[in-house]
């Protein structure tokens, strides 16, 4: 190999390494503007986001609302066109430094192909939400930009210790504090260590996105999943769908968040959620962490999607440490 060829290989490797590091939107500071918009389900009343506005303003942020955030089009927060308009304006407005989703539900997948991300790619900002917002997390991950899997505007409305922890974690992420979680280990955990970008979100949405331009590639990454209101056989079917799409082939680790309000079928499924997951992933060699507090519960800790994490799963305690 000539010196020129060697330098070319080194340059290519360096370029690929840089390409694998996602863009990080600027952290917020006092005086910045954050927008609340609704890309999915209808908001029942204006009071549902008053607490969020109050807390964000206490953080020193200026809060603006999408024009149609309280629009009512049956299941949706306005028509597709109205939701597209609000989100597009918030994306393109240079004075807005972060976008907090009003709520989830369903509807983001109806409009994702009509959003223009060109200005956003040049000047990224934090996109915050979970559940149906998995569509945005996945799509934006493929654009090479980090997002925040965390509570939405309607989530601020109740007050308890778990909610306080979730709010504190979101503030820490937005303002650039160090992020690390230490949690008790489940007896079902598969111990081990792993390092990679964290990706994923709501299982139903991840399955729905397979085969689209918004589907993520979990190769060399740590996959996080959560869901709500599903039967165990639904969860089994969706996980097998991901498995058949190669999701676990080169995955570095698996984090199981809340699977809330699992529905009971008239015929017993025969396995617990944990047993189901372990059965589907038994041929793979990566650590699995059960019971991570993120998803459809009050203690919905914020995760920086696309950020490299170090995952250590032990018998007594487990740690998720985000790269600064």
Which are the catalytic amino acids? 131, 226, 296
Q: Which helix (H) or strand (E) holds 12?
A: helix 3-20
Q: Which helix (H) or strand (E) holds 182?
A: strand 180-184
- Which residues neighbour 116 within 8 Å (Cβ) at sequence distance 6 or greater? 88, 91, 92
- 3-state SS class at 198: strand
- 45 burial via Cβ count (<10 Å: 0-12, 13-18, 19+): exposed
Number of H helices, E strands in the chain: 10, 13
> Token pair of 121, please?
């790619």
Q: How many CB atoms lie within 10 A of CB 221?
A: 24
- Which residues neighbour 122 within 8 Å (Cβ) at sequence distance 6 or greater? none
CA terminus-to-terminus distance, the chain:
38
CA distance 111 to 214: 12
- 288 burial via Cβ count (<10 Å: 0-12, 13-18, 19+): buried
C-alpha distances out from residue 229 to 25, 64, 90, 258, Å: 33, 32, 31, 11
- Which residues neighbour 6 within 8 Å (Cβ) at sequence distance 6 or greater? none
CA distance 240 to 247: 10
- Which residues neighbour 315 within 8 Å (Cβ) at sequence distance 6 or greater? 185, 189, 191
């Amino acid at each position: 190999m000539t010196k020129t060829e060697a330098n070319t290989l080194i340059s290519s490797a360096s370029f690929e390494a840089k390409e694998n590091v996602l863009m990080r939107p600027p952290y917020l500071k006092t005086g910045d503007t954050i927008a609340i918009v609704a890309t999915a389900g209808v908001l029942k009343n204006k009071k549902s986001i008053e607490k969020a506005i109050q807390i964000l303003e206490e953080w020193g942020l200026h809060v603006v609302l999408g024009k149609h955030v309280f629009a009512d089009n049956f299941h949706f927060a306005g028509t597709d066109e109205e939701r597209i308009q609000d989100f597009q304006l918030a994306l393109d407005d240079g004075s807005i430094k972060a976008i907090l989703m009003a709520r989830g539900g369903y509807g983001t997948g109806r409009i994702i192909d009509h959003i223009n991300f060109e200005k956003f790619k040049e000047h990224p900002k934090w996109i915050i939400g979970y559940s149906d917002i998995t569509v945005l997390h996945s799509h934006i991950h493929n654009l090479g930009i980090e997002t925040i899997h965390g509570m939405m505007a309607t989530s601020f409305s109740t007050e308890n210790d778990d909610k306080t922890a979730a709010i504190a974690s979101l503030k820490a992420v937005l303002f650039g504090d160090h992020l690390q979680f230490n949690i008790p280990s489940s007896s079902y955990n598969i111990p081990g260590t792993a390092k990679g970008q964290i990706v994923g979100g709501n299982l139903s949405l991840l399955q729905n996105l397979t085969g689209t331009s918004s589907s993520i590639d979990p190769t060399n990454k740590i996959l996080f999943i959560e869901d709500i209101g599903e039967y165990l056989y639904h969860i089994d079917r969706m996980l097998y769908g991901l498995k058949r799409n190669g999701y676990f082939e080169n995955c570095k680790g698996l984090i199981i968040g809340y699977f809330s309000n699992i529905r009971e079928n008239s015929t017993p499924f025969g396995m617990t959620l944990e047993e189901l997951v372990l059965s589907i992933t038994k041929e793979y060699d990566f650590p699995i962490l059960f019971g991570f507090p993120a998803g459809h519960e009050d203690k919905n800790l914020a995760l920086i999607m696309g950020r490299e994490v170090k995952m250590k799963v032990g018998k007594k305690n487990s740690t998720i440490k985000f790269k600064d």
